[in-house]
Chain A
Amino acid sequence: MKRKMGVLILVLALLSSLLTACGGSEETGGADSDVIKIGVFEPMTGASAAGGQMTVEGIELANEVKPEVLGKKVELVIVDNKSDKVEAANAVSSLIDKDNVVAIIGSYGSSLSMAAGDIVKEKRVPAVGCSPTNPLVTLNNDYYFRVCFIDPFQGTVMANYAVNELGAKTAAIIQDVTQDYSVGLSKYFEDAFKELTGDENSIVAKASYNTGDQDFTAQLTNVASANPDVIFAPGNYGESALLIKQARDQGIDIPILGGDTWESPEFLSIGGDAVEGAVFSTHFTAEAPVTEVSDEFLKLYEEKFSKQANAFAALGYDAYMVILDAIERAGSADPEAIRDALSETADFVGATGYITLDENGDAVKSAIIKKVENGDFVYLTTVNP
Chain B
Amino acid sequence: MTLVEFMQHLANGVSLGSLYALIAIGYTMVYGILRLINFAHGDIFMLGAYLTYYAIVFTSMPWYVAFALAAAITGLVGFLLEKIAYKPLRDAQRITVLISAIGASFFLQNFATVVFGGRPKAFPIPSIMNKIINIGGVSINLITFIIPVIGLGLLAGLTYIIYKTKTGMAMRALSKDYDTARLMGINVDRIISITFFIGSFLAAVGGIMWGIKYPQLMPLMGSMPGIKCFIAAVIGGIGNISGAVLGGFILGLGEILLVAFLPGLTGYRDAFAFILLIIILLVKPTGLLGEKVTEKV
B42-50, B149-157, B261-269: which lies at the interface: B261-269
Which residue on B lies nearest to A210, using beta carbons?
B267
**Contact call A207/B95, Cβ cutoff below 8 A:** no
Instruction: Specify which chain A residues have a CB less than 8 angstroms from the CB of B121 in the assembled complex.
Output: 269
The verdict on A46 contacting B220 (CB below 8 Å), with A209-B266, A213-B269 known, is: yes
Complex CA–CA separation, A249 to B266 (angstroms) = 21
Judge if B54 is at the interface, Cβ distance under 8 Å: no
Number of A-B contacts (CB under 8 A): 118
**Contact call B118/A45, Cβ cutoff below 8 A:** yes
Most buried by B among A45, A242, A248: A45
Annotate A266-288 by CB proximity to B: 1 below 8 A, 0 otherwise: 10011010000000000000000
Contact-size category for A:
35 or more
The verdict on A219 contacting B95 (CB below 8 Å), with A212-B224, A238-B120, A270-B215 known, is: no
**Contact call A250/B267, Cβ cutoff below 8 A:** no
A1-23 contacts to B, CB under 8 A, are 1-3, 5-6, 8-9, 12-13, 16
**Contact call A219/B266, Cβ cutoff below 8 A:** yes
Instruction: Specify which chain B residues have a CB less than 8 angstroms from the CB of A207 in the assembled complex.
Output: 263, 266
Complex CA–CA separation, A50 to B122 (angstroms) = 13
What distance in Å separates the Cβ of A246 from its nearest Cβ neighbour in chain B? 8
B180-239 contacts to A, CB under 8 A, are 214-216, 218-220, 224
Instruction: Specify which chain B residues have a CB less than 8 angstroms from the CB of A16 in the assembled complex.
Output: 102, 106
**Contact call A225/B215, Cβ cutoff below 8 A:** no
Which residue on A lies nearest to B132, using beta carbons?
A249
**Contact call A221/B215, Cβ cutoff below 8 A:** no
Judge if A292 is at the interface, Cβ distance under 8 Å: no
Annotate A207-219 by CB proximity to B: 1 below 8 A, 0 otherwise: 1111011110111
**Contact call B120/A249, Cβ cutoff below 8 A:** no
Complex CA–CA separation, A224 to B260 (angstroms) = 12
Which residue on A lies nearest to B103, using beta carbons?
A16
Instruction: Specify which chain A residues have a CB less than 8 angstroms from the CB of B140 in the assembled complex.
Output: 249-250
Judge if B113 is at the interface, Cβ distance under 8 Å: yes
B4-12, B61-69, B72-80, B164-172: which lies at the interface: B4-12
- Among B102, B216, B267, point to the contact of A13 (Cβ < 8 A): B102
Complex CA–CA separation, A245 to B106 (angstroms) = 31
Which residue on A lies nearest to B256, using beta carbons?
A218
- Among B120, B257, B260, point to the contact of A266 (Cβ < 8 A): B120
- Among B39, B117, B125, B214, point to the contact of A242 (Cβ < 8 A): B214
**Contact call A9/B98, Cβ cutoff below 8 A:** yes
Judge if B281 is at the interface, Cβ distance under 8 Å: yes
Complex CA–CA separation, A13 to B106 (angstroms) = 10
Instruction: Specify which chain B residues have a CB less than 8 angstroms from the CB of A49 in the assembled complex.
Output: 117-120, 218
Judge if B55 is at the interface, Cβ distance under 8 Å: no
Instruction: Specify which chain A residues have a CB less than 8 angstroms from the CB of B259 in the assembled complex.
Output: 218-219, 222
Instruction: Specify which chain A residues have a CB less than 8 angstroms from the CB of B102 in the assembled complex.
Output: 9, 12-13, 16
- Among B15, B122, B255, B260, point to the contact of A221 (Cβ < 8 A): B260
Judge if B1 is at the interface, Cβ distance under 8 Å: yes
Instruction: Specify which chain A residues have a CB less than 8 angstroms from the CB of B91 in the assembled complex.
Output: none
The residues of A with any CB-CB pair to B shorter than 8 Å are: 1-3, 5-6, 8-9, 12-13, 16, 44-47, 49-50, 53, 80, 177-178, 207-210, 212-215, 217-219, 221-222, 225, 238, 241-242, 245, 248-251, 266, 269-270, 272
Besides the known contacts A5-B95, A218-B259, A272-B122, 19 further A-B residue pairs in the complex with CB atoms under 8 A apart: A2-B281, A3-B285, A8-B95, A9-B98, A12-B102, A49-B120, A53-B119, A215-B256, A217-B12, A217-B256, A218-B255, A219-B266, A238-B216, A242-B215, A245-B215, A249-B132, A251-B134, A270-B120, A272-B125
| 26 A-B interface contacts by CB (under 8 A) | A1-B295, A9-B98, A13-B102, A46-B118, A80-B118, A177-B267, A207-B263, A207-B266, A208-B266, A210-B267, A210-B269, A215-B12, A217-B256, A219-B259, A219-B263, A225-B5, A238-B216, A242-B214, A242-B215, A245-B215, A249-B132, A250-B8, A250-B139, A251-B134, A269-B122, A270-B215
Q: A-B pairs with the 5 shortest C-beta distances?
A: A45-B118, A269-B122, A218-B259, A251-B139, A217-B12
